[in-house]
Amino acid sequence: MAVDFGLSVDMEGFNASMEEARQKARNARYKAGGKSIVLDANATSQLRNQGLDSTNDSPKFQHKVHSSVVKAIYTGSEFVATASGDEDFGLVLESTSFYAEQGGQVQLHV
């Protein structure tokens, strides 16, 4: 398509940039210094059994400031009632404006 518009593409530079992006995506989870918290099938099943609905992610299309409610706190092995900044944990939200990580996207670490 670039040729159609009289443009050229630096394929060597493009490929180098793509590899750099892939490497950043591979290393992103380790840069935060914490462990990855993965909500596995057993954990999601436990939430469903407690009557929690899936997180509503439709706000990601609204491009507005968004607030939500924490529905659960997960340590990677169990759900807990409270958590402190001294430990790694994940939050299950009622709704979110974030996109799920896919295809090499870099995670958000807050």
Which tokens is 94 given?
């009622």
pLDDT tens for each residue of 31-76: 555 567 888 899 999 999 999 998 888 888 888 888 999 999 999 8
DSSP 28: H
- In the chain, where the domains are located: 3-93
**Is the pLDDT at 108 greater than 80, yes or no?**
no
pTM listed for this prediction: 0.57
